[in-house]
Amino acid sequence: MLKKNSWIISLLLVCFACDSNQIFDAYESFPNKWHKDEVVSFSMTPPDSTQAYNLYVNIRNNNDYRFNNLFLIVELNYPNGKAIKDTLKYKMAAPDGTLLGTGFSDVKENKLWYKGYESPFVFNETGEYTINIQHAMRENGKVDGVENLEGITDVGFRVESIKSN
Protein backbone atom coordinates (compact mmCIF):
# COMPACT_ATOMS: atom_id res chain seq x y z
CA MET A 1 0.00 0.00 0.00
CA LEU A 2 2.83 2.40 0.87
CA LYS A 3 4.59 1.67 -2.45
CA LYS A 4 1.37 2.39 -4.37
CA ASN A 5 0.84 5.73 -2.57
CA SER A 6 4.49 6.72 -3.09
CA TRP A 7 4.14 6.03 -6.82
CA ILE A 8 0.99 8.17 -7.07
CA ILE A 9 2.61 11.05 -5.18
CA SER A 10 5.70 10.86 -7.38
CA LEU A 11 3.55 10.93 -10.51
CA LEU A 12 1.67 14.01 -9.27
CA LEU A 13 4.92 15.80 -8.46
CA VAL A 14 6.27 15.11 -11.95
CA CYS A 15 3.07 16.43 -13.54
CA PHE A 16 3.14 19.66 -11.54
CA ALA A 17 6.89 20.17 -11.96
CA CYS A 18 6.52 20.18 -15.75
CA ASP A 19 4.65 23.48 -15.60
CA SER A 20 6.83 25.44 -13.18
CA ASN A 21 6.73 28.65 -15.26
CA GLN A 22 2.93 28.96 -14.94
CA ILE A 23 1.90 32.06 -12.99
CA PHE A 24 -1.80 32.18 -13.87
CA ASP A 25 -4.02 29.78 -15.84
CA ALA A 26 -7.82 29.95 -15.79
CA TYR A 27 -10.70 29.02 -18.10
CA GLU A 28 -14.37 29.82 -18.59
CA SER A 29 -16.54 27.17 -20.27
CA PHE A 30 -19.28 27.58 -22.86
CA PRO A 31 -21.65 24.61 -22.90
CA ASN A 32 -23.22 25.34 -26.30
CA LYS A 33 -22.14 28.65 -27.83
CA TRP A 34 -20.37 31.95 -27.14
CA HIS A 35 -22.70 34.93 -27.55
CA LYS A 36 -21.17 37.98 -29.27
CA ASP A 37 -21.96 40.24 -26.28
CA GLU A 38 -20.52 37.86 -23.67
CA VAL A 39 -17.19 39.10 -22.33
CA VAL A 40 -14.94 36.62 -20.57
CA SER A 41 -13.03 38.30 -17.72
CA PHE A 42 -10.05 37.16 -15.72
CA SER A 43 -8.46 39.05 -12.83
CA MET A 44 -4.98 38.43 -11.53
CA THR A 45 -2.27 40.05 -9.46
CA PRO A 46 1.19 39.35 -10.92
CA PRO A 47 3.78 38.39 -8.31
CA ASP A 48 6.54 40.69 -9.66
CA SER A 49 6.37 44.07 -11.40
CA THR A 50 9.91 43.76 -12.80
CA GLN A 51 9.81 40.22 -14.24
CA ALA A 52 9.11 39.54 -17.95
CA TYR A 53 6.16 37.32 -18.85
CA ASN A 54 4.51 35.63 -21.83
CA LEU A 55 0.73 36.07 -22.06
CA TYR A 56 -1.58 33.69 -23.91
CA VAL A 57 -5.23 33.34 -24.81
CA ASN A 58 -6.17 29.66 -24.63
CA ILE A 59 -9.01 28.35 -26.76
CA ARG A 60 -10.58 24.92 -26.71
CA ASN A 61 -12.77 24.17 -29.70
CA ASN A 62 -14.49 21.17 -31.23
CA ASN A 63 -15.66 20.09 -34.68
CA ASP A 64 -18.67 22.42 -34.47
CA TYR A 65 -16.28 25.34 -35.04
CA ARG A 66 -16.78 26.11 -38.73
CA PHE A 67 -14.36 28.98 -39.38
CA ASN A 68 -10.70 29.00 -40.47
CA ASN A 69 -9.84 31.97 -38.27
CA LEU A 70 -10.83 33.43 -34.94
CA PHE A 71 -11.08 37.17 -34.32
CA LEU A 72 -10.91 38.33 -30.70
CA ILE A 73 -11.03 41.65 -28.92
CA VAL A 74 -8.73 41.45 -25.91
CA GLU A 75 -8.55 44.26 -23.39
CA LEU A 76 -5.88 44.48 -20.69
CA ASN A 77 -6.87 46.77 -17.81
CA TYR A 78 -4.07 47.99 -15.55
CA PRO A 79 -4.52 48.61 -11.79
CA ASN A 80 -4.24 52.40 -12.19
CA GLY A 81 -6.88 52.73 -14.93
CA LYS A 82 -4.85 52.38 -18.15
CA ALA A 83 -6.40 50.03 -20.73
CA ILE A 84 -4.97 48.47 -23.89
CA LYS A 85 -7.45 46.98 -26.37
CA ASP A 86 -6.30 44.77 -29.25
CA THR A 87 -8.20 43.13 -32.10
CA LEU A 88 -6.44 39.83 -32.78
CA LYS A 89 -6.71 37.28 -35.57
CA TYR A 90 -5.72 33.66 -35.06
CA LYS A 91 -5.58 30.81 -37.57
CA MET A 92 -7.69 27.90 -36.32
CA ALA A 93 -7.75 25.48 -39.28
CA ALA A 94 -5.46 24.20 -42.01
CA PRO A 95 -6.38 24.94 -45.67
CA ASP A 96 -8.08 21.52 -45.89
CA GLY A 97 -10.33 22.42 -42.93
CA THR A 98 -8.53 20.29 -40.34
CA LEU A 99 -8.64 22.02 -36.96
CA LEU A 100 -5.30 23.15 -35.59
CA GLY A 101 -4.27 22.67 -31.98
CA THR A 102 -3.38 19.80 -29.71
CA GLY A 103 -5.58 16.96 -28.59
CA PHE A 104 -6.53 13.45 -29.66
CA SER A 105 -10.31 13.79 -29.55
CA ASP A 106 -12.55 16.21 -31.42
CA VAL A 107 -11.62 18.91 -28.83
CA LYS A 108 -8.51 20.87 -29.78
CA GLU A 109 -6.57 23.18 -27.51
CA ASN A 110 -4.86 26.27 -28.93
CA LYS A 111 -2.33 28.29 -26.94
CA LEU A 112 -2.39 31.64 -28.75
CA TRP A 113 0.17 34.39 -28.20
CA TYR A 114 -1.17 37.61 -26.74
CA LYS A 115 1.83 39.53 -25.34
CA GLY A 116 5.53 38.77 -24.94
CA TYR A 117 6.33 37.32 -28.37
CA GLU A 118 7.77 40.53 -29.94
CA SER A 119 9.35 41.92 -26.80
CA PRO A 120 9.24 40.96 -23.13
CA PHE A 121 6.01 41.98 -21.39
CA VAL A 122 6.28 43.41 -17.88
CA PHE A 123 3.35 44.11 -15.57
CA ASN A 124 4.88 47.44 -14.59
CA GLU A 125 2.17 48.45 -12.11
CA THR A 126 1.51 46.64 -8.86
CA GLY A 127 -2.02 45.50 -8.16
CA GLU A 128 -4.82 43.63 -9.88
CA TYR A 129 -5.05 43.43 -13.68
CA THR A 130 -8.23 42.46 -15.53
CA ILE A 131 -8.25 40.79 -18.94
CA ASN A 132 -11.46 40.90 -21.00
CA ILE A 133 -11.90 38.65 -24.04
CA GLN A 134 -14.77 38.85 -26.54
CA HIS A 135 -15.19 37.22 -29.94
CA ALA A 136 -15.52 39.47 -33.01
CA MET A 137 -16.50 36.91 -35.65
CA ARG A 138 -18.35 37.81 -38.84
CA GLU A 139 -19.38 35.71 -41.80
CA ASN A 140 -17.90 36.67 -45.19
CA GLY A 141 -19.84 39.49 -46.81
CA LYS A 142 -21.96 40.21 -43.73
CA VAL A 143 -21.82 43.33 -41.58
CA ASP A 144 -23.42 41.96 -38.42
CA GLY A 145 -21.33 39.76 -36.19
CA VAL A 146 -21.98 36.09 -35.55
CA GLU A 147 -24.63 36.16 -32.82
CA ASN A 148 -23.74 32.79 -31.26
CA LEU A 149 -20.34 31.31 -32.03
CA GLU A 150 -20.56 27.53 -31.95
CA GLY A 151 -17.66 25.16 -31.40
CA ILE A 152 -15.74 27.15 -28.77
CA THR A 153 -15.96 25.12 -25.57
CA ASP A 154 -13.56 27.06 -23.32
CA VAL A 155 -11.73 30.38 -23.29
CA GLY A 156 -8.73 30.80 -21.03
CA PHE A 157 -5.95 33.16 -20.13
CA ARG A 158 -2.43 32.10 -19.16
CA VAL A 159 0.63 33.91 -17.87
CA GLU A 160 4.06 32.29 -17.85
CA SER A 161 7.28 33.65 -16.42
CA ILE A 162 10.20 33.89 -18.80
CA LYS A 163 13.12 31.97 -17.39
CA SER A 164 16.45 33.75 -17.85
CA ASN A 165 19.45 31.66 -18.86
- String of DSSP letters for 19-40: TTTEEEEEEEE-SSEEETTPPE
Q: How far apart are CA 157 and CA 35, in angstroms?
A: 18
pLDDT in tens, 68-105: 999 999 999 999 999 999 999 999 999 998 889 998 88
pLDDT in tens, 98-123: 889 998 888 999 999 999 988 889 99
Q: Please name the residue ranges forming H helices in 52-124.
A: none
Q: What is the pTM of this model?
A: 0.84
- 8-state DSSP, 65: -
